[in-house]
Amino acid sequence: MTASQSRRPGLTERLLDVHNLKVHFQVSDRTIRAVDGVDFHVRPAECVGIVGESGSGKSTLVRAVSRLMPNLRINELSGDLRFEGRHILEMSERDLRALRRSHGFSMIFQDPLGYLNPTHRVGRQIAEALSPQGKGRPDGQRVHSLLQEVGFSDPKSVAHSFPHELSGGMRQRVMIAIALASDPKLLFADEPTTALDATVQLQVLQTLYRIHKERNMAVVIITHDLGVVAELCDRVYVMQTGKVVETADTVDLFERPKHSYSARLIELSAHRVDFRSAAP
Amino acid sequence: MLRYILQRALYALPLMLVIIVVMFTLLHLIPGDPVQALVGDYPVPPAYRQAIEEKYRLNDPFLTQVWNYVTAVVQGDFGYSYQNQRPVLSLILERAPRTILLASVGFAFAIPLGMAIGVITGTTRSSTTDKIWTTSALIAYAIPTFWLGQLLVMFFALRLGWFPTQGIGPLVSRAHGFDWILERGRYLALPALAFAIHEGMRFARIMRASVIDTLSQGYIITARSKGLTRGQIIRRHVLRNSSLPLVTVAGYAFGSALSGAVLLETVFTWPGLGLLMVDSIRLRDNLTVVGVVIFSAVAVVLMNLLVDILYAMLDPRIRTGG
Ligand SMILES: Nc1ncnc2c1ncn2[C@@H]1O[C@H](COP(=O)(O)OP(=O)(O)OP(=O)(O)O)[C@@H](O)[C@H]1O
Ligand SMILES: [Mg+2]
């Protein structure tokens, strides 16, 4: 595949490079500094985790970078954001669309049901991602092979279903198929398994990991689960109140966390794992 | 899907029966001489009186009378209008198509109008465009239809002379084919326009709220991240999903419009069901009043049935969900 060849990682090369990102919201007379001067980068084919407590600005960071922010209530949005060297914030809508349609970045979300159109069949929604002009066939070969890639053995019937007819795990797989349609170099996954039950979580994560490796696709995964980070990610960012308080290779973070907050996070999650395995 | 339709239809049947029974009971509750109540402000010759008493078996127990009335109505016998000297059913059948015509043409313009304004204002929310359109729509909606009708008449009929001021056209017409349509169309234009403006503004408000709601949904973000253009997103993801509430409202509104836009028909002397209703009430022609009410009620029930079916066709969650 030519796409994966061109993506062979150089160690210093940066696919995504973010400097001093600030996203401030204005809610009535209060300014919320959701993201407040964050430095962040992703290398090609790398898996990066973002952890941090609720409200620390993880989703806002990822949304701002992928320019999927609603314009409402935004007070400040600034920083030096580059994808393959191109400035994301200054990019025209047209260039941005081109990037989203092929070899750019895609995104999947926490609640796959809300992010799928309830009135369109799954096949049509994937076909639309393959060809935004609407020329793609909902039951075409490319739709089926995407569905197979995310783990469906019966792509035909899935393509013909409506989102509400599928289970949560299946919906998230469909979301992944949609995200893969543009053959992205970078996939943002915002708590992709939080809404699923434990066994399904594992399967979806395994699928994500397999695709990440097979496609040499960089993945940025937001999660509350440090276990997920330990399994999947090469590097981690730890966020707290809009700032990155620590960034490290996963192994280093777990062995010797520098920041007290990270240490506490690890302690808490270890505690939880213990609690689980102690149960009969 | 077929099962769903049949199920809905089955629910509608008892409702219609109840409506007929209630109307008959109300008729029965009118104080005074029941024969006079049926005939209205019209001298009752003894021959009529006897015929009526026999026909409606006014001396039978109440329940038997109800049963008789229901069976008669189901067979299409709504009684006889002594005011108009003809069966109530034939009166209704003469007037109903005119009302249906007015309502249909009005809605045919009101729905696209309302959808267009709703999408324009909903997608440009809080901008100057939105404010101008929303305010204009609100003002237009606040004008009562009869006054709106008068304004249209004063401007387009009296000043410009483009359209006639009232009526539905000559009883006998020499025009044929397209000319005939044009001739009728000139009479229909103003009442239909008044109707379309009023209803259209209502739909615009509903559509705007619905578009704003749809735009906040996750699948719009998915559509954006697919790299769709604004126009593609609105056409494929916003229009249909935002139309769902409009289907309900427009359907019910159409159902009630079939009982005649009373004020509008009065302003334009449009001889539809609304005008028939007004005249019959004034003359205490109660059998006709009851006939029109039953007809309208059945129309509303049928429209609701249609709305349910249409809704299920547009929203797959309903079809399979229950
Ligand atoms: N559109 C918005 N308008 C106003 N405030 C917002 C908006 N989006 C996010 N915020 C605020 O910004 C802060 C960061 O929110 P964000 O959703 O990024 O946190 P998060 O780390 O993803 O949390 P969680 O783990 O709960 O998903 C929160 O205080 C939130 O209330
Ligand atoms: Mg979040």
Closest CA to A192 of A43, A47, A56, A14: A47
- Ligand 1 in reach of A227 Cβ (< 6 A): no
- The distance from CA B162 to its chain's CA centroid, rounded to whole angstroms, is 27
Residues B259-288 have pLDDT tens digits of: 667 888 888 888 888 888 888 888 777 788
Q: Which of B7-16, B219-228, B244-253 ranks highest by mean pLDDT?
A: B219-228
The whole-angstrom separation of Cα B177 and Cα B180 is 5
Compute how many other C-beta atoms are within 10 angstroms of the C-beta atom of residue B26: 13
Same domain, B179 and B67: no
Token pair 């005008």: residue: B275
CATH code of the domain containing B128: 1.10.3720.10
Q: Which amino acid is at A70?
A: P
Q: Which of A97, A114, A115 lies nearest to residue B229, judging by beta carbons?
A: A97
Boundary (domain end) residue, out of B24, B56, B88: B88
Residues B87-110 have pLDDT tens digits of: 889 999 988 888 888 889 999 999
Compute how many other C-beta atoms are within 10 angstroms of the C-beta atom of residue B1: 10
* Assigned token pair, A221: 């995964």
| Burial of residue A109 (number of CB atoms within 10 Å: 0-12, 13-18, 19+) | buried
The whole-angstrom separation of Cα B71 and Cα A110 is 60
Q: Give how far A221 is from chain B: nearest CA, Å.
A: 17
pLDDT at residue number A2:
44
Q: Which of A151-155, A199-203, B138-142, B311-315 ranks highest by mean pLDDT?
A: A151-155
| Cβ pair A134, A128 in contact under 8 A | yes
pLDDT at residue number B2:
77
The whole-angstrom separation of Cα A15 and Cα A185 is 8
The whole-angstrom separation of Cα A225 and Cα B177 is 75
Same domain, B56 and B177: no
> Interface pTM (ipTM) of the complex?
0.87
Compute how many other C-beta atoms are within 10 angstroms of the C-beta atom of residue B174: 8
The SS3 of residue A237 is: strand
Check if A59 contacts B (Cβ < 8 Å).
Answer: no
Same domain, B203 and B238: yes
Closest CA to A191 of A83, A81, A110, A82: A110
- Ligand 1 in reach of A56 Cβ (< 6 A): yes
State percent of chain B over pLDDT 90: 17
Residues B54-92 have pLDDT tens digits of: 777 777 787 888 888 888 888 888 887 877 888 889 999
* Assigned token pair, A189: 């996954």
| Cβ pair A44, A216 in contact under 8 A | yes
**In chain B, whose CA is at the least distance from the CA of A127?**
B226
Same domain, B135 and B254: yes
Ligand nearest to the backbone CA of A109: 2
The whole-angstrom separation of Cα A232 and Cα A49 is 8
Same domain, B222 and B316: yes
CB contact under 8 A, A116 and B219: yes
Mean pLDDT by 10 residues, chain A (280 residues): 47 85 91 93 95 92 90 85 92 93 93 92 93 74 93 93 93 96 95 87 91 95 86 91 89 78 73 43
Same domain, B81 and B142: no
The whole-angstrom separation of Cα A46 and Cα A232 is 10
Boundary (domain end) residue, out of B26, B58, B88: B88
Chain B residues in contact with A92 by the CB 8 A cut-off are none
H or E element, residue A77:
strand A74-83
The whole-angstrom separation of Cα B151 and Cα B140 is 12
The whole-angstrom separation of Cα B293 and Cα B8 is 22
Closest CA to A189 of A221, A218, A225, A229: A221
Q: Which amino acid is at B316?
A: P
Cα dihedral sign, B96-B99-B103-B106: positive
pLDDT at residue number B221:
94
Q: What is the mean pLDDT of chain B?
A: 83
* Assigned token pair, B125: 């929310």
Domain count, chain B: 2
Q: Which residues of B221-249 are buried (b: 16+ CB within 10 A; e: fewer)?
A: bbbbbbbbeeebbbebbbbebbbbbbbbb
Domain that includes residue B269, residue range = 92-321
The whole-angstrom separation of Cα A215 and Cα B313 is 40
pLDDT at residue number A12:
60
Same domain, B80 and B126: no
**In chain A, whose CA is at the least distance from the CA of B320?**
A165
Determine phi and psi for B187, rounding to 5 degrees: -75, -35
Same domain, B208 and B282: yes
Boundary (domain end) residue, out of B88, B104, B119: B88
CB contact under 8 A, B217 and A114: yes
pLDDT at residue number B281:
83
Same domain, B31 and B178: no
Same domain, B134 and B255: yes
Q: Which residues of A194-208 are buried (b: 16+ CB within 10 A; e: fewer)?
A: ebbeeebbeebbebb
pLDDT at residue number A17:
94
Q: Which of B31-35, B116-120, B157-161 ranks highest by mean pLDDT?
A: B116-120
Q: Which amino acid is at B69?
A: Y
Q: Give how far A215 is from chain B: nearest CA, Å.
A: 19
| Burial of residue B184 (number of CB atoms within 10 Å: 0-12, 13-18, 19+) | middle
Q: Give how far A44 is from chain B: nearest CA, Å.
A: 20
Same domain, B81 and B100: no
Same domain, B99 and B247: yes
pLDDT at residue number A246:
87
pLDDT at residue number A214:
94
Which residue among A60, A66, A75 has the greatest number of ligand 1 atoms within 8 angstroms of its CB, and so is best to mutate? A60
For testing the chain A interface, which of B213, B225, B230 should be mutated: the one with the most A CBs within 10 Å? B225
Q: Which of B222, B236, B320 lies nearest to residue A115, judging by beta carbons?
A: B222
Q: Which amino acid is at B211?
A: V
Between residues B177 and A244, the one the model is more confident about: A244
The whole-angstrom separation of Cα A180 and Cα A174 is 10
Compute how many other C-beta atoms are within 10 angstroms of the C-beta atom of residue B251: 20
- Rounded to a whole number of angstroms, the distance between the first and last alpha carbons of chain B is 11
Q: Which of A115, A132, A181 lies nearest to residue B228, judging by beta carbons?
A: A132
**A98 Cα: distance to centroid of ligand 1 (angstroms):** 28
- Say yes or no to pLDDT of B214 above 70: yes
* Assigned token pair, B217: 């949904």
The whole-angstrom separation of Cα A270 and Cα A265 is 9
Question: In the structure, what pLDDT confidence band is assigned to residue B254 with cuts at 50, 70 and 90?
Answer: confident
